[in-house]
Amino acid sequence: MIERYTLPEMGRVFSDAHKYELWCKVETLVVEAHARAGTVPAETVEPVRQAPPPTPERVAEIEAVTQHDVIAFLTAWADNTEPREAAAWVHFGMTSSDLLDTALAAQLVEATDILLGKADRLVAALRDHALEHRETLRVGRTHGIHGEPDVWGHRVADFAFAMARSRDRLRRAREAVGVMAISGPVGTYSNIDPAVESYVAQRLGLAPADVSTQVVMRDGISEWVSALAVMASVCEAVALEVRHGQRTEVRELWEPFGKGQKGSSAMPHKKNPILSERICGMARIVRGQIVPVMEGIPLWHERDISHSSTERIALPDAAIATDYLLHLTTRLVSGLVVDADRMRANLDSTHGLIYSSTVVSELIETGLSREDVYALVQAAAMRTWETEVAFRATLREEADARGVTLDEARLDEVCRPERFVARLGPVFERLGKLS
């Protein structure tokens, strides 16, 4: 991921320097486990533990010759070990995937914990915004067309619950991805005791794979990336709503617009929904990682490395982009400007057509057939669309022409937009308990 969209904390998790720190940690724990079992000399542990991680530059220099990243790392780290003889016991009984998959599991768990913290903050921001606007009337739209009265807080509540589910989905995926293996070549423990794997797993807070061949099966990592993609898509849903709401013809919502900010190089009047558009674009990046990672599940026999090149790109990009999306969406929601007056004006702009379904229900209760009622109400509605005469007036005319008597007082009662606020009370009761 490019620096523009990389926040420092997540960027460090996926830095080469941190990767080598994790590799050192895994290898040191393996040496400790061997020493506890008497497999390697006890005096090996402290020199290995004290050896500083090699620099990315030094590993890259060696890898240019060896064409093998793990061997390059081990060579560079051995150069930092005093006495150097202690390094001979590093990686004892292991194969490269033992180190790579175990360290990757630790890395992905670290990344997940950062994402979960930010998801918590976004859930809270959406919840609080929705509760603040539980009585802010607006028109609900289907297919982009005015449907029925609604409240803005109702729309945002849907986003809040969706993000909470996405967060909980990622919590479950944390378990799926926090799986390691130290089982040696082909995964048969031929040169390493399973107790070493258990020791390292416990110290790292990971779970040993139920079985590994030479790599950990990639279904867990695929689940994790899929969870990130769903979370990113919920962020996009929020942003898309803001983009629609900020259109000139709608003007119900506005992104935060800072002092000195410019909207267009050519048109000084512009205030564009740039945060929302960026969120929608970045969500595509996260979703785009699902298939490449999932295709790492089928490998040749006990192992090949067709998955590794993909994961070096896909996993950091998915995590870093999701991290940025959560940050940006929280900023968007926290600074969102809601024009309640404009929302009410838009609600009234179709001259009462938004009560057509309510009128249908009321007239059916008088004993008319649904077919006759629908024909009456639709005819009145079409006249309102064409003439902009108030719907109640065209409805009255159509009813008179068909010999239908309207209960005007009852229609006054059921065609109040505030009536819809009360019906949504249970939604906001549930929302208030969301954490």
Question: Residue 203's domain is classified under what CATH number?
Answer: 1.20.200.10
CA angle 82, 83, 87 (to 5 degrees): 90
Provide the pLDDT for residue 392: 92
- DSSP helix/strand/coil, 295: coil
Examine the domain organization and report whether 77 and 153 are in the same domain: no
Provide the pLDDT for residue 418: 86
Given 92, 126, 159, the domain boundary residue is 92
Block means of pLDDT (10 residues each) for the chain, length 435 residues? 93 97 98 96 96 97 96 97 94 96 98 98 98 96 94 97 98 97 95 96 97 93 98 98 96 83 63 93 97 95 90 97 98 97 96 93 90 94 94 93 89 85 90 95
Run of H or E residues at 68: none
Bridge-based pairing state of the strands 137-142 and 145-151 = antiparallel
Asked whether the beta carbons of 434 and 374 are under 8 A apart, the reply is no
Backbone φ and ψ of 180, nearest 5°: -125, 175
Examine the domain organization and report whether 332 and 359 are in the same domain: no
Full residue range of the structural domain in which residue 396 is found: 353-414
Choose the catalytic residue: 143, 265, 301, 435. Answer: 143
Dump the DSSP string for 155-209.
HHHHHHHHHHHHHHHHHHHHHHH-EE----GGGS-SSS-HHHHHHHHHHHT-EE-
Given 57, 74, 92, the domain boundary residue is 92
Provide the pLDDT for residue 272: 86
Return the structure tokens found at 64: 């240019």
Helix spans in 55-95 (H): 56-66, 69-79
Asked whether the beta carbons of 207 and 180 are under 8 A apart, the reply is yes
Provide the pLDDT for residue 434: 95
Choose the catalytic residue: 68, 190, 198, 264. Answer: 264
Total count of residues recorded for the chain: 435
- Looking at residue 140, its amino acid is G
Q: In sequence order, which residues have a C-beta less than 8 Å from that of residue 322 and are 6 or more positions away?
A: 115, 228, 231, 232, 286
Examine the domain organization and report whether 208 and 84 are in the same domain: no
Active site residue 435: no
Active site residue 264: yes
Examine the domain organization and report whether 305 and 435 are in the same domain: yes
Number of domains composing the chain: 3
Examine the domain organization and report whether 68 and 19 are in the same domain: yes
- DSSP helix/strand/coil, 210: coil
Assign residue 38 the CATH number of its domain.
Answer: 1.10.275.10
Examine the domain organization and report whether 180 and 323 are in the same domain: yes
Provide the pLDDT for residue 423: 86
Examine the domain organization and report whether 274 and 402 are in the same domain: no
Provide the pLDDT for residue 169: 98
* pTM attached to this predicted model: 0.93
Examine the domain organization and report whether 99 and 204 are in the same domain: yes
